[in-house]
Amino acid sequence: MSLWVWVTLAAALAQTGRNAAQRGLTERLGTLGATNVRFLYGLPFAGLFLALALWFTGVPAPALTPRALGFAALGAAAQIAATALMLQAMRTQGFGIVTAWLKVEPVLVALIGWAVLGEALTLPMLAAIAVAVAGVLVMTLKPGQGRAMLADLRPASLGLLAGLAFGLSAIGFRGAITALPDGTFLIRALTILVLSLALQTLALGLWLAFRDRAALVGSVRAFTPSLAAGFLGALASACWFTGFALTTAANVRTLALVEVVFALLLARLAYAQRASPRQLAGIGILLLGVVLLLRAT
């Protein structure tokens, strides 16, 4: 299999671990405080990854271009906005319904990538993305919830906007990586990762300093439990960005849907939660979509 497949699978696995590590931090620090941990403690690890890569390869860091800076800022801002929209949607609707709206992201990423970056978009790729998204919908939606998705337009619009913002963030990061003039795919990916995390740490830190200082202070004090979340988050992001450097954002974000499968496996192993027949059927459909995507690419 291609390298982008392996790094994307590694990213999904590391992100599942990060979500588990952040589970207790959310209860302790609140949503924004736990989100700040992702950037604040992920940035030093990302810087370490870049320094090691530069030392190992012996190549200089690529020069940042205005186009790369613009795309990185777009990706960083869109990711923060997407998180805020997602949390707002979850205040008024169930987790499963909001997740279902969010998981249309690969379709939006494919369309935005085609419109903004001129990335190839074929019918087999679209069909594979649609099948994979359908598998996630089967897993996340309970019987009767499909009607609830359309009953209230406000949560639906928030969920779709969050999915769109997540899609824009993927396109922003992919655009920034491809805009760098030189460097290997790994060096370019890690350079944009460090830049994006620095922008996000600064932006969210300033926001918390003025709007929720208790969450900011709490995220700084929670040093020891935040290290694991920061490391796993940086590792996941490094793999996501490496995937963006190797193939289209649509391919990466579609294969990333296997994170749902990893989450179900973690729930089974760590919390003794069994998957329902509906969830198993959804897994089968999702994996079929992934196989179709790999064949199409």
Number of domains the chain is built from:
1
Q: Is 147 helix (H, G, I), strand (E, B) or coil?
A: helix
Could you give the CA distance from residue 16 to residue 257 in angstroms, rounded to a whole number?
11
Could you give the CA distance from residue 92 to residue 76 in angstroms, rounded to a whole number?
26
pLDDT on residue 24: 67
For each successive 10 residues of the chain (297 residues), what is the average pLDDT? 89 82 71 81 94 91 92 92 72 56 76 82 84 77 55 63 87 94 92 96 91 85 82 92 92 84 69 68 79 78
Distances from the Cα of 288 to the Cαs of 92, 228, 248, 253, in angstroms?
A: 33, 33, 20, 16
Could you give the CA distance from residue 118 to residue 116 in angstroms, rounded to a whole number?
6
Domain, as residue range, for 132: 3-296
pLDDT on residue 188: 96
Residues 6+ apart with CB under 8 A from 37: 22, 25, 29, 219, 222, 226, 229, 230
Could you give the CA distance from residue 225 to residue 242 in angstroms, rounded to a whole number?
27
Q: 167 near 108, Cβ under 8 Å?
A: yes
